[in-house]
Structure 1
């Protein structure tokens, strides 16, 4: 039963994460990126080792698994140690 406060066909928008949060974009073959901000209906993500940002639909973004998070953090640490990113 629907109430006046809960329209039946309205989707709730996902909560915007904080800057720097690791996320997985399922529309880009599960690429992991850092959340950089919201741009209209899209979220801006950046590769963990720096590079060109891309826009993702929030419906195609999910939290990384523990293994995906670990890989991304190791990749970032290796890039820092090699001087590719600050």
Structure 2
């Protein structure tokens, strides 16, 4: 935890945005909001600390597999 708000996770850990179930990597906290980045990269989004929770290993694995599937499907054949 970051010592300020127990709901805000450390940068580099994975968290779930309870608003829509998205899993992301915690990038930091800015303006009282947690910044999450999609697994595999992409545009960060802001999430209120009350809507952030620990990502279970299965949640992270599922998000990584979904990202890999998107990459494979996007490859030219």
Q: TM-score, normalised on structure 2? A: 0.69
Across the two proteins, how many residue pairs are aligned to each other?
70
In the aligned structure 1, how far is the partner of 2:7 from the partner of 2:28?
12
Determine whether 1:51 maps to 2:62: no
| Long gaps (5+) in structure 2 | 73-77
Matches within 5 A, 1:1-86: 13-14=5-6, 16-26=8-18, 28-75=19-66
In the aligned structure 1, how far is the partner of 2:23 from the partner of 2:53?
10
Higher relative contact order (CA 8 A, sep 6+): 2
Q: TM-score, normalised on structure 1? A: 0.63
Of Structure 1 and Structure 2, the greater strand share is in: 2
